[in-house]
Structure 1
Amino acid sequence: MSAFTRRSGLPLLFRGLFALLISVAAPAASAAPSAGPSASAPGPLVPSAADGYGWTTVSSALNRQISSAQNQLKYIYGQLNRTDIVLGSETLTELSDQVDAVTSTAQSIQTQAASYQTVYESYLDIVGAKAEGESQAIVAQRAHLQSVLQDIKSTVTQGRLLGLQAKQVQLEVQRRGTVNQQELLSERIASPLTLTFWRNLYAEGPALRLTLAPPVNNGYAGVLYHWPYLVGALIGAFLLTALLARPAYWLFRQLEGNIVRRFTGDILSEHHRSFIPVAMSGVVCGFIMFLIWEILAGIFSLDLGRSPLFMNSIAGIMPLCGFILGAGLPALSRATAIDGADQRAARALWGVDWCMAIIVLLQTIFITIGMENAFPVTARRLIEAIFTLAVTSLFVAMCRRLSRRTDARLAPAVYGIGCLIMAVTWVAIAIGYLAFAFAVTVWSVALSVSFATLFLISLATKEFTARNFSTASLVSRRLSRLGVHSNRVAQFGVLLSGIVNIALIIVFVAVCLSEGSLDIPVVADKVNGLFVGQTINGVQFSLNTAVFCIVILLVAYYAIRAFSQWLESRLFPTTNLDIGARTSILNIFRYVAWIAVFLMVLSEAGVTVKNLTWVVSALSVGIGFGLQAIVQNFVSGVILLAERPIRVGDLIELGSIKGDVKRISVRSTEIGLGDGSTMIVPNSQFITSAVRNATLGTSLSAASATVTISPRADATKAQIALMNMMKQREDILQDPAPGVAISAITDTGITLALSAKVSSVRDVGGVTNAIMLDAYRVLQESGLELGKPS
């Protein structure tokens, strides 16, 4: 209990409340001494106060959540073990989402129960261990608190078990999805080149006719029910969008010209190529095509009897089809907007927009039909094979035409890739792997269409930012009046373009994870999954966590830099600290601050010491083999910053190196040499080698020189003349005073030793040279003859 008291001041308040409750309960305890243990035990006093935190209510609510979550897991596990149906990817995705919800519930239960566990453990610390002669009220309180705490621990354990069960079920869902994908890619049926395939197709005739069946008892109808209305609505949506594509492009082109003329005074030429009107036309046409489809679907009641998944898939792909038509039709017209392309390229790519839009639509329909098993197996594989043959043939023909009619550098490479895909898919169809051939085609179409679409948006964004945020743009001129430098505006434009490109890359990754689906809701769900992330070995990997960690690093960088500048420019000038002490304080502050930021980032990412066990083990092995020098220099740098045997500004001599200390870091020290260069020396050399510090302790240094006069000269007169000369020099300190003394008398001359103090060791050479010149001048003026040195 004393240890708990040292940790916090709150137990003092708890003790006071506890004593007050005991004093109130004492008369009740003494009023019925003979009623037996059960009757004389006082009512729970402290637990009633503790229960005010809500554990009694929360306990029942958590138990209901645990029971509901366990039933949900049983249902999911039962669905996974069903043998009468085939679980498609859509169903497995829904089950995975349900398991994720159960996992979140388990984590919430553990968090809530753990918070109450902390509270009741604090109560038990206050009550303390059992002691002789204590009140029955305290005994009852201890027993009640222990009982409730045991119940809380049981709830925490149930939450952990629930999370473990959810994890196991999620692994089973993922395994089932992987197995389904592998079975799909490895599925082999009779080859279309054999009679068996066509016999199976003929045998599926009755089942195939069910695709035309109307809805029965308000149920679902066949996928081809009222197919003329479906096809008519699709054709109407495509034609109306195509009619609006070029007017929309010319509208945005005129709008772009008016904006440029209005704000810059320039006039765009007719041959001006810009990606902005093309991208805007695609976006508007995508929205228009979606609206047209929804209107036509409502007019013809196309959703009557059809699966919501089928209708939602068509509605989800309509914006992309509209974007392809809205951007492709004007881009491949006479007023081409393809950067650097000519009319030959436009003619070579003529019709590609229509083909790609139709292919994307058919691909989405076939994927949805496969999810719902709306067609018999052989008939579905035949349709997919025909689709594969048509798509690969069109793609190879387009690449061949482009490589022959233009000099595009990538055309031959793309043509080669197209031929390879066509060869692989056609061989797969011939030997019976129709599902594999269709999957390869779907992936190729999805990646090529998504790359082209996102690349066009990226180019439009780059052009927009370069035009509107350049140093000479209107925005830059307007902001310069507010004190914003034009370079800052240009930097913002570059950063904005980079952020958009990163977002487009994330979308492209989501398309790659969507198993070839270009349905916008599916891709959006994959993007959301990337941001939500997944847990791998206890560490949560997600984009939102990565973005938040990056934000923490950026904010910490600017905060540390601002505080360092405040220390250096505001606080340190008001102190008596020298430059070495200031540098050491700044370096230590920066390193400690960055270590704290690094720990904060690890905490936000969910990385604990347990997760880093393998990293620490690897580092220990690395230190033992290859990182000894780095660790040695790091420790030496810490010692240099703490003990400060050398400081920034000191003149040191290390072996043959002599210069001024410019910077001390935890790994190395920078020394400025006399020729202006910088020598970077590892810190360990300052600990293990002898270092001469010429400015340690004091910045004063001594300058000395010797002069020899003739033995016939007047030594006293020479001393007085030289002393007066040294007193008149401003670069010599007069406190302590300079001196002139006779150091030797020989038959060849009298040697006089001149000594003086200078303010810096760096001035010794220059002052010594000046003293010698002045001494020669003074002796000549005084008529004193020089002698020969002994």
Structure 2
Amino acid sequence: MSALKRQPALTLIYGLFLVLALALSISSKPSLAAPPGSPGSNTLVPTAADGYGWTTVSATLNRQITSAQNRLKYIYGQLNRTDIALGNETLSSLSDQIDEISGVAQSIQTQAASYQTVYQSYLEIIGTKVDGESATIVSQRSRLEAVLQDIKSTVTQGKLLGLQAKQVQLEVQRRGTVSQQALLSERIASPLSLGFWRDLADEGPDLALTFAPPVNNGYAGVLYNWPATLFSLIGVFVLTALLARPTFWLFRQAEGNIVRRFTGDVLPENHISFIPVALSGLICGIIMFVVWEIISNVFSLDVGRSPVFAHGIAGIMPLCGFILGAGLPALSRATAVDGAAQRSARALWGVDWCVSIFVLLQTLFVIVGFENAFPVTARRLVEAVFTLLVEILFVWMCKRLTRRTDARLAPAIYGIGWLLLVISSAAIALGYLAFAFALAVWAIALSVSFASLMLLSIAMKEFTSRTFSVGSLISRRLSHLGVHSNRVAQFGVLLSGIVNIGLIIIFAAICLSDGSLCIPVVADRVQSLFVGQTINGVQFSLNTAVYCIIILIIAYYAIGAFTQWLEKRLFPTTNLDIGARTSILNIFNYVAWIAVLLLVLSEAGVTVKNLTWVVSALSVGIGFGLQAIVQNFVSGVILLAERPIRVGDLIELGGIKGDVKRISVRSTEIGLGDGSTMIVPNSQFITSAVRNATLGTALSAASATVTISPRADATKAQLALMDMMTKRQDILQNPPPGVAISAITETGITLALSAKVSSVRDVGGVTNAIMLDAYRVLQEAGLELGKPS
């Protein structure tokens, strides 16, 4: 019996032996008769006595489910309370708690599902019930079925918990949306009417409570510590303003020293740089925050409900310090040396103080509105005054810029300011004070954030252009290590682009923070942007996008490096021709990128289930409009696999003759004789007849015929022509060339010349040279030419 015939028999015998050994190991051991899960028993199912198994985690998961359900009940009870008004800050806190509960529900489902897979595998090993099986197997099957039922119950409870959390989250979001819409559409008595002032007088007792001192229960009014808070704020602002210009000059001197030390150049006195301005703003922001924290702790400004304001002020202090630290030097007459900058500085004098104070007041008003910590009419009156003051100062500043400078955007901004002032005044007159205040809040938030982020972007661009330019110090130092200066410049551009992307993300977070400029609020919004949201089962987030981009970048360089290794190191050591090498490289690149694409889709959470509608759409598209693309793709795969044509082959297709330069999965590039390139769809190589002149071998034949007179000596002619053919360098001598008599007629004797050449591309030139040499040799031998038959 041959080896091929013995192989199935050996496989069958080996399989029967394994089945018999497994059966003996399960049924022959006496210890299996012990109760399942008892100490010392050798059961198939892991138990708590073994230190692992479902029993060890089920109690923990059940406690998590109970705790999460109790938290949901508490949150739902808070939403249904009628004795208090829930502010946006409270709703945001409840939303965060619900997100944590959703995470717990997802974790419970994941853990339970993993155990379900393991125990299901155990049950499949035991199999269905058969007659005469061991009692141990029966007990193990019963135990497994009970455990699986418990696991399925836990999975169901986890899904219900997640669904309940989602429903409560929708209710919280609805409350927030309704609250925001109600705020924007809220209408009270107009300040032009007596009813408004009557309502304000009626709120006198409630307004007095905001200044009430602490009582026995520890409660104090919101503005109980207003003198200490006011003087503390004044002190912090004055201290920051005093430190702004020295900080700027310190960084400017440091910049000049660095440039002089590393480049030998001296910065001119009228040199204007945004790097010291941005650094001064950042340092002043940090100083302002630290000083406020110290003062608030020393004077105990967080009594009663004041912690809300103290923390809100602490969150806005970095931005206020940045505005003062960057604005005071940038708008200073000593700093702005250029003529146009001097005029702009005089026109914008005092804007930095106004903007920082407005940002602080806006934050306080927003906190008051969120927490409902102030009587409504009094709060609306203060907000209306704030709105009109902000927009009047904004229009006045734009007017000064338009008259005193040639700023291009000043007239347009001036018009926008007037439009906002008219709309806000009309809204206040009609009683829509909340809408007017929201308009002012958005205007301040967007303008201040845009200006601050733009300053940081310009400073970062200036820093990268100086540090990583072609002739910079870092570029020169790295050039000694073999790093090209263009690579260093590219890194600077990429670094600046990454920073700009981060600033854009921050600006988007500010737009989503309802006009709040507090650092913690913006940071929370940035985090929510990275966490993302789930749409149709797919998680969309900046975090996932960053991971996917990193995977693509690493894959790009890894695939390129491996391709270079194959092309430069491995292929030169093999006997593969250029066509085989090209096919291997193309197939590797396509397979590698398909794997990377699958990895990116997996990282993004996209599964086949999520892509069902995409597959359906593609099937319809292929049926109608993508037939040619799919046909060319499949044809390209066939060409790369079967290789009927290869890179470097000389082919002829439909009257077109040229060399194959590149084969891809969609088309093939053919180099023509005039130097142009023709791109041919791959399907034509499968459905049409193709002549490949170099498929079998690289050698080709050159042939020519010569006719001599019938009176000439044919033997002498043969010898002369053969001697000529053996002396030519462009004719291969192995196999040797030949000269034979192919025809004898009354008009002449025809001699056929044949030879092998190294390439089909040389046939034409070699044939022409043979004919010329044959004519010369016959003339020198005195042999008369005849007439071809």
Where on the TM-score scale, by shorter chain, does this alignment land: which range? over 0.9
Work out whether residues 274 and 337 of structure 1, in 8 Å CA contact, stay in contact via their aligned partners in 2: no
**In 1: Cα distance, 2:277 partner to 2:470 partner:** 25
Work out whether residues 711 and 746 of structure 1, in 8 Å CA contact, stay in contact via their aligned partners in 2: yes
How big is the shift at 1:747? 4.4
**In 2: Cα distance, 1:244 partner to 1:71 partner:** 53
**Alignment partner, residue 108 of structure 1:** 107
Code of the aligned partner of 1:540: Q
Work out whether residues 275 and 337 of structure 1, in 8 Å CA contact, stay in contact via their aligned partners in 2: no
Question: More deviation in 613-622 or 261-270?
Answer: 613-622
- Quick one: structure 1 residues 17 and 64, their matched pair in 2 at CA, closer, same or farther if it must change by over 3 Å? farther
| Alignment pair present for 1:571 and 2:570 | yes
**Alignment partner, residue 25 of structure 2:** 19
- Quick one: structure 1 residues 301 and 59, their matched pair in 2 at CA, closer, same or farther if it must change by over 3 Å? same
How big is the shift at 1:375? 1.5
How big is the shift at 1:748? 4.1
Equivalent residues, number: 771
SS at match of 2:328: helix
**In 2: Cα distance, 1:190 partner to 1:609 partner:** 58
**In 1: Cα distance, 2:264 partner to 2:355 partner:** 39
- Quick one: structure 1 residues 470 and 770, their matched pair in 2 at CA, closer, same or farther if it must change by over 3 Å? same
| Alignment pair present for 1:428 and 2:427 | yes
How big is the shift at 1:112? 1.4
**In 1: Cα distance, 2:32 partner to 2:359 partner:** 82
Work out whether residues 270 and 338 of structure 2, in 8 Å CA contact, stay in contact via their aligned partners in 1: no
**Alignment partner, residue 723 of structure 2:** 724
- Quick one: structure 1 residues 21 and 462, their matched pair in 2 at CA, closer, same or farther if it must change by over 3 Å? farther
Work out whether residues 32 and 43 of structure 2, in 8 Å CA contact, stay in contact via their aligned partners in 1: no
Work out whether residues 44 and 140 of structure 1, in 8 Å CA contact, stay in contact via their aligned partners in 2: no
Work out whether residues 650 and 693 of structure 1, in 8 Å CA contact, stay in contact via their aligned partners in 2: yes
**In 2: Cα distance, 1:529 partner to 1:556 partner:** 28
**Alignment partner, residue 451 of structure 2:** 452
Work out whether residues 33 and 136 of structure 2, in 8 Å CA contact, stay in contact via their aligned partners in 1: no
The aligned runs of 1:627-776 (5 Å cut-off) are 627-776=626-775
CA offset digits 1:421-441 (Å, max 9, x no partner): 222222222222211111121
How big is the shift at 1:44? 8.7
Question: More deviation in 276-285 or 708-717?
Answer: 708-717
| Alignment pair present for 1:235 and 2:234 | yes
How big is the shift at 1:292? 2.2
Q: Normalising by structure 2, what TM-score?
A: 0.93
Work out whether residues 218 and 305 of structure 1, in 8 Å CA contact, stay in contact via their aligned partners in 2: no
The aligned runs of 1:81-92 (5 Å cut-off) are 81-92=80-91
How big is the shift at 1:147? 0.9
Work out whether residues 106 and 162 of structure 2, in 8 Å CA contact, stay in contact via their aligned partners in 1: yes
**Alignment partner, residue 406 of structure 2:** 407
**Alignment partner, residue 93 of structure 1:** 92
**In 2: Cα distance, 1:731 partner to 1:665 partner:** 35
- Quick one: structure 1 residues 751 and 220, their matched pair in 2 at CA, closer, same or farther if it must change by over 3 Å? farther
- Quick one: structure 1 residues 24 and 213, their matched pair in 2 at CA, closer, same or farther if it must change by over 3 Å? same
**In 1: Cα distance, 2:161 partner to 2:525 partner:** 26
**Alignment partner, residue 3 of structure 2:** none
**Alignment partner, residue 538 of structure 1:** 537
Code of the aligned partner of 1:353: D
How big is the shift at 1:608? 0.9
**In 2: Cα distance, 1:567 partner to 1:251 partner:** 55
How big is the shift at 1:550? 1.1
**In 1: Cα distance, 2:149 partner to 2:550 partner:** 42
The aligned runs of 1:542-621 (5 Å cut-off) are 542-621=541-620
SS at match of 2:769: helix
**In 1: Cα distance, 2:519 partner to 2:164 partner:** 33
Structure 1 unmatched ranges of 5 or more: 1-5, 30-37
| Alignment pair present for 1:354 and 2:353 | yes
Code of the aligned partner of 1:486: S
CA offset digits 1:149-201 (Å, max 9, x no partner): 21111111111221122122222222222222112112222222222222222
Code of the aligned partner of 2:31: A
The aligned runs of 1:462-477 (5 Å cut-off) are 462-477=461-476
**In 1: Cα distance, 2:478 partner to 2:695 partner:** 52
How big is the shift at 1:120? 1.6
- Quick one: structure 1 residues 339 and 118, their matched pair in 2 at CA, closer, same or farther if it must change by over 3 Å? farther
**Alignment partner, residue 133 of structure 2:** 134
**In 1: Cα distance, 2:220 partner to 2:655 partner:** 92
- Quick one: structure 1 residues 717 and 26, their matched pair in 2 at CA, closer, same or farther if it must change by over 3 Å? closer
How big is the shift at 1:301? 2.4
CA offset digits 1:632-667 (Å, max 9, x no partner): 211111111122111111111122322111111111
**Alignment partner, residue 303 of structure 1:** 302
**Alignment partner, residue 33 of structure 1:** none
- Quick one: structure 1 residues 112 and 238, their matched pair in 2 at CA, closer, same or farther if it must change by over 3 Å? same
The aligned runs of 1:175-214 (5 Å cut-off) are 175-214=174-213
How big is the shift at 1:537? 1.7
The aligned runs of 1:223-372 (5 Å cut-off) are 223-336=222-335, 341-372=340-371
**In 1: Cα distance, 2:279 partner to 2:164 partner:** 49
**In 1: Cα distance, 2:312 partner to 2:603 partner:** 37
SS at match of 1:320: helix
How big is the shift at 1:368? 0.4
Work out whether residues 532 and 539 of structure 2, in 8 Å CA contact, stay in contact via their aligned partners in 1: yes
**In 2: Cα distance, 1:14 partner to 1:65 partner:** 45
- Quick one: structure 1 residues 121 and 180, their matched pair in 2 at CA, closer, same or farther if it must change by over 3 Å? same
CA offset digits 1:206-252 (Å, max 9, x no partner): 22222211122243322222322221111111111111111111111
Work out whether residues 328 and 353 of structure 1, in 8 Å CA contact, stay in contact via their aligned partners in 2: yes
Question: More deviation in 12-21 or 245-254?
Answer: 12-21
- Quick one: structure 1 residues 15 and 601, their matched pair in 2 at CA, closer, same or farther if it must change by over 3 Å? farther
**In 2: Cα distance, 1:464 partner to 1:614 partner:** 48
- Quick one: structure 1 residues 688 and 413, their matched pair in 2 at CA, closer, same or farther if it must change by over 3 Å? farther
CA offset digits 1:653-686 (Å, max 9, x no partner): 1223221111111111111112222221111222
Work out whether residues 757 and 763 of structure 2, in 8 Å CA contact, stay in contact via their aligned partners in 1: yes
Identity, in percent, stands at 78
Work out whether residues 244 and 329 of structure 2, in 8 Å CA contact, stay in contact via their aligned partners in 1: yes
CA offset digits 1:1-59 (Å, max 9, x no partner): xxxxx9xx9xx899869937962336769xxxxxxxx9xxx989444557621422311
| Alignment pair present for 1:173 and 2:179 | no
**In 2: Cα distance, 1:407 partner to 1:657 partner:** 65
**In 1: Cα distance, 2:502 partner to 2:167 partner:** 33
SS at match of 1:587: helix
**In 2: Cα distance, 1:64 partner to 1:340 partner:** 72
Code of the aligned partner of 1:150: Q
- Quick one: structure 1 residues 707 and 413, their matched pair in 2 at CA, closer, same or farther if it must change by over 3 Å? farther
SS at match of 1:212: coil
- Quick one: structure 1 residues 666 and 716, their matched pair in 2 at CA, closer, same or farther if it must change by over 3 Å? same
**In 2: Cα distance, 1:593 partner to 1:442 partner:** 51
**Alignment partner, residue 374 of structure 2:** 375
- Quick one: structure 1 residues 17 and 109, their matched pair in 2 at CA, closer, same or farther if it must change by over 3 Å? farther
**In 2: Cα distance, 1:287 partner to 1:360 partner:** 17
**In 2: Cα distance, 1:400 partner to 1:78 partner:** 54
**In 1: Cα distance, 2:47 partner to 2:370 partner:** 57
How big is the shift at 1:572? 2.4
SS at match of 1:646: coil
**In 2: Cα distance, 1:338 partner to 1:420 partner:** 34
Structure 2 unmatched ranges of 5 or more: 1-11
**Alignment partner, residue 32 of structure 1:** none
Work out whether residues 704 and 767 of structure 2, in 8 Å CA contact, stay in contact via their aligned partners in 1: yes
- Quick one: structure 1 residues 156 and 13, their matched pair in 2 at CA, closer, same or farther if it must change by over 3 Å? farther
The aligned runs of 1:386-535 (5 Å cut-off) are 386-535=385-534
